[in-house]
Structure 1
């Protein structure tokens, strides 16, 4: 009797069912559909990429054993990920195939582990002028513009990124510096720009590298006495993306070599893209000649997303993972996790995992437990608006008075304290703080912070103001 895909899969399921928990079987194996059997390859359809990755991570051994029992040692498993291809073919480990439902497909032998998505640079040096050397871009294809959702908090940065991707080196956004706090999507956005450029301009050499790795490569080049080779390598890049450029602070040798690389790329119409946790004006121990070049193009800030954007991010994450969740729970998670996108997505993953492992439905009570853990484990970030309200209430004035142009001493001091605490308790740039507290510039904020530091050490009454407000903001 010849075997069919369904009979082979049914036999595999019988074996799997006897060896795992009933709830796990129901969650991760009942939704799978056997599609076809070709020689020793069984094709199965799974609901999403998340589903496929979960199977590979948690059930690869049992799949291998069950399939080997049915089809022998040369058995292969082919995953068909059934999802509308809204995001093109950027999903990792998938390739687009023509079909009526525009599904994506992945063929993977069960006994071979997935390849590393970001292989290390083997050698950062090539002979100057040689352009036929293959340079891996180090880009993550999972980071795309399609899954970097637009909102008020990131509109400028995203729009600038799209402009650069359309015409790298040909816009006034060169360099493009994306800055903002942890987990707001800086790395995602610069990868998306790089991926889009590679799609539009396959002939261009694009390279993503962290400032930390760049520094280490430079140190190695000095040790091996091939500093010039290091410089020549980076001078042949068409689009250079350096992540966390603030890491260059205090590293004068690395800054010097980057200065020469930057000048060469910029003069030759090449694109430079940078990320940082702060604006150029707030960077410490970076040479002025380098800072001035950072300001040649556009510096765009990523801010904390608002509620509507957070809801969109959660829905997009659930869609990509092929998971349904009630609107009430989506809104609850988005309302309570405000600090950054990474934690928001982390909470959703945790919620799905908790539901699966503990054999529970995703309910509002389960959401409260998961969110509570995230909020407890995350240092609360106070908003600039809240700081202004606390300071205004403390000095018995309204926020409009605090923000006004008056030079009355007690109002000036209240305003300076608001700026001081905004710098201390938020990740906002000096320019952003000044803009939100009475439309002042970054120099005013810097002066305010120095004044507060000086008065705290010399004026007992003023020190009491600082201590009292600190307690109110730390509650």
Structure 2
């Protein structure tokens, strides 16, 4: 009798697993790459569902390795969507004889595609497919800034909710605050929080595919995928990510086709409980040119704001930068800077860096007088001023070319020798700092380079300025010349 009850219980567990798996396949067919789905996931066999533990048998060790590395998060999310609760997925390998010849085939729904046994050719295609996705990831996603961590983020009442929510998201992606929408004026730490989330997630699970992009980059690569007939790769990439971090969503607000694709991508990820974090300079309701259906989806998660910090917090931010960089700046000077710059943390950091560099180059001790003379352009000047003529990107390129004894054509070219590459990076950095053009416009002026390449070139120079005195002197000299 006991044996019969055990048998009935196992049958129930097997049937529950089979039904859940069939429904999950209906979601997974749209979320995974064709090769991953048909060659490795669809042929898998559900064994049992017991105590929120789902056992899934795969065909061989290669399939288990492939699924665990590339599909595990998506499969778990699909099963949790179907079951309505958290679940642990355990992968086992089928015996060589998958099924007793007299045992009937398990029923499948009409919508579930028939499995396809993996072959050497399909494995090679799957590996190439994954390489294509990784290549697109490298080109499109922003590099994680190692300095922007939760530990270096200064918390006060102006940003506590956003910070706490970001930490929670990084600890348990997809389970809380999905989506998380952070808004506030530029320069107050929204991008810092996105990089902090990405870094923490990499530390917890280096196998996660994390897409850290901004709205402008999404638009650029969407349009490019249509032009180059690679839209299928573009769409498959975004359906494969585990966490999607989007900065400055307001930049897609007026672009109809981009908004449409963003909406479908958002839905695909959200339905399978993959974490989405979005930042904007305004609330969802104030994104007037954004579709109502997108605004309502942003509002269904947690909306957190960041606002200008108090003067004590601004001083704490400056002290943290001094500790990180090893700068000895008197406290009265730090208060002077914090009182002068009240609304933008990015400007606060830039002012301190500029002061420290000037002190080092000129050999003068840091004082309020030096700060006042060096940081004049950071303050609101109430006197009428004559507007300077706009600095053109071509002027920057020509000035850098002259300094490096090369030509503007060489800087715009695709030459990769060290002197030309360094000259190009410096020119990109100065163009971003002085011209006020978008990264896309700068990229066009530098021989048609894309937005991400421009960002990386500028970041490389920016990160080297405090360590390389020769580079710092060169950049300061060029900047002074171009600012006249």
Normalised by the size of structure 2, how large is the TM-score?
0.50
- For residues 24-44 of structure 1, what are the alpha-carbon distances to aligned partners after superposition, in whole Å with 9 as ceiling and x for unaligned? xxxxxxxxxxxxxxxxxxxxx
Which residue in the other structure is 2:165 paired with?
Answer: 160
Structure 2 CA distance for aligned equivalents of residues 261 and 159 of structure 1: 26
Structure 2 CA distance for aligned equivalents of residues 344 and 211 of structure 1: 25
- For residues 87-115 of structure 1, what are the alpha-carbon distances to aligned partners after superposition, in whole Å with 9 as ceiling and x for unaligned? xxxxxxxxxxxxxxxxxxxxxxxxxxxxx
1:254 and 2:258 aligned: yes
Query: SS state of the match for residue 182, structure 1?
Result: coil
Is this contact kept in 2: 1:181–1:278, CA < 8 A?
yes
Structure 1 residues 240 and 377, CA gap change in structure 2 (3 angstroms): farther
1:266 and 2:276 aligned: no
1:297 and 2:301 aligned: yes
- For residues 275-309 of structure 1, what are the alpha-carbon distances to aligned partners after superposition, in whole Å with 9 as ceiling and x for unaligned? 11111011021111111111111111110011110
Structure 1 CA distance for aligned equivalents of residues 213 and 279 of structure 2: 11
Structure 1 residues 364 and 224, CA gap change in structure 2 (3 angstroms): closer
State how 1:125-164 maps to structure 2 within 5 Å: 134=134, 135-136=137-138, 138-164=143-169
Query: SS state of the match for residue 379, structure 2?
Result: helix
Structure 1 CA distance for aligned equivalents of residues 266 and 293 of structure 2: 11
Structure 2 CA distance for aligned equivalents of residues 129 and 271 of structure 1: 27
Which residue in the other structure is 2:291 paired with?
Answer: 287
Structure 1 residues 130 and 225, CA gap change in structure 2 (3 angstroms): closer
- For residues 176-195 of structure 1, what are the alpha-carbon distances to aligned partners after superposition, in whole Å with 9 as ceiling and x for unaligned? 11111111111111111111
Structure 2 CA distance for aligned equivalents of residues 224 and 299 of structure 1: 37
Structure 2, unpaired ranges of 5+: 1-124, 384-484
What number of residue pairs does the alignment pair up? 253
Q: CA deviation at 1:228?
A: 3.2
Q: CA deviation at 1:377?
A: 6.9
Task: Identify the structure with the greater helix proportion.
Answer: 2
Is this contact kept in 2: 1:244–1:277, CA < 8 A?
yes
Structure 1, unpaired ranges of 5+: 1-125, 380-475
1:206 and 2:210 aligned: yes
State how 1:226-241 maps to structure 2 within 5 Å: 226-241=230-245
Structure 2 CA distance for aligned equivalents of residues 344 and 250 of structure 1: 31
Query: SS state of the match for residue 213, structure 2?
Result: strand
State how 1:349-364 maps to structure 2 within 5 Å: 349-364=353-368
Is this contact kept in 2: 1:183–1:343, CA < 8 A?
yes
Which residue in the other structure is 2:337 paired with?
Answer: 333
Q: CA deviation at 1:218?
A: 1.0
2:352 to 342, 348, 351: 348
Structure 1 residues 378 and 248, CA gap change in structure 2 (3 angstroms): farther
Which residue in the other structure is 2:188 paired with?
Answer: 184
Is this contact kept in 2: 1:249–1:286, CA < 8 A?
yes
Query: SS state of the match for residue 342, structure 1?
Result: helix
1:370 to 374, 387, 395: 374
Structure 2 CA distance for aligned equivalents of residues 337 and 378 of structure 1: 15
Structure 2 CA distance for aligned equivalents of residues 269 and 339 of structure 1: 36
Structure 2 CA distance for aligned equivalents of residues 277 and 236 of structure 1: 28
Query: SS state of the match for residue 177, structure 1?
Result: strand
Structure 1 CA distance for aligned equivalents of residues 148 and 225 of structure 2: 31
Is this contact kept in 2: 1:131–1:236, CA < 8 A?
no
